[in-house]
Amino acid sequence: MPLQQTQTDDIKIITVNLPRIDAAVAIQFKDSMREATETGPDHIVLDLSNVSFVDSSGLGAIVASKKQLPSGKKIDLAGLTPDVAKVFRLTRMDSVFRIYAHVSDLASRAAG
């Protein structure tokens, strides 16, 4: 599963390098996220800027990634493309996750 990880002292950014998170990759995505979030900072940001499509299975895998986090960790989302953002709005998952327009918005929040 092509997940790229970068880490600062207090944030781990996981970038999804796939155009789609759908039924074909949902289980592998969830397993890769579990592995990626086991260690490192408590604040995780899932960068979805490369993802242009998420179906119900993909959405379920993203939600499952949040639920399977070790105690004390939290996950936010960043870089939702318009179609992906629409899925989150329509399912009201935008009220479950903190969503940033861009990963760079996190640096400005941390500095301010």
pTM of the model: 0.92
Residue 100 has φ and ψ, to the nearest 5°, of: -105, 145
Mean pLDDT of 60-74: 95
What pLDDT score was predicted for residue 112?
44
The torsion angle over the Cα atoms of residues 9, 74, 21 and 103, rounded to 10 degrees, is: -40
The model's pLDDT over 11-62, given as tens digits with 9 standing for 90+, comes to 999 999 999 999 999 999 999 999 999 999 999 999 999 999 999 999 999 9
Domains detected in the chain: 3-107 (3.30.750.24)
Q: Is the pLDDT of residue 6 over 90?
A: yes
